[in-house]
Amino acid sequence: MALAAARTDCVPCIGHGGCGSGLYHSILERIMKITFPEGPIAYDADQLAVTFPALADSGQVQCAITAEALEDHYGAVSAREADLRKAFFEHRPLIESAASRLIQETGGASITLHSGYLRMYGEH
């Protein structure tokens, strides 16, 4: 029995939201369309975070970035709401890029960006 040549456009479907079948699926089948509407951001005083919306394959995803992450990576001078909002708006494209990657990794689940995640992926 001859083995089929490996397809370079396919990956095994395991982990990180894969179907777990062990089958190979096209990489394009696994890439979500993620966008960030201009909708309002909010300050979550209980979580010390800024929240913002995203759409992943047309489904709503709630995103957040912690005050610590905004201070450590995006220049927020304190955890005060005004300072966090300022840092968020000044670095929104970078924050949305990191959020997009994490949304993809979690299969479209709601996400919170922490300083450790940003440090691991060099986002700043």
Helix 92-105 / helix 81-90 crossing angle, nearest 10 deg: 80
Residue 40: which CATH number? 3.30.160.140
Tell me whether residue 77 is in a domain: yes
Q: Is residue 25 part of a domain?
A: no
Asked whether residue 21 is assigned to any structural domain, the reply reads: no
105 is a domain residue:
yes
**Would you state the pLDDT for residue 27?**
46
CA distance 63 to 65: 7
Instruction: Kindly state whether residue 19 falls inside one of the protein's structural domains.
Output: no
The pLDDT tens digits for 49-99 are: 999 999 999 799 999 999 999 999 999 999 999 999 999 999 999 999 999
State which residues form the domain around 36: 32-121
* Model confidence pLDDT, tens digit, residues 1-24: 444 444 444 444 444 445 555 544
Q: How many domains is the chain built from?
A: 1
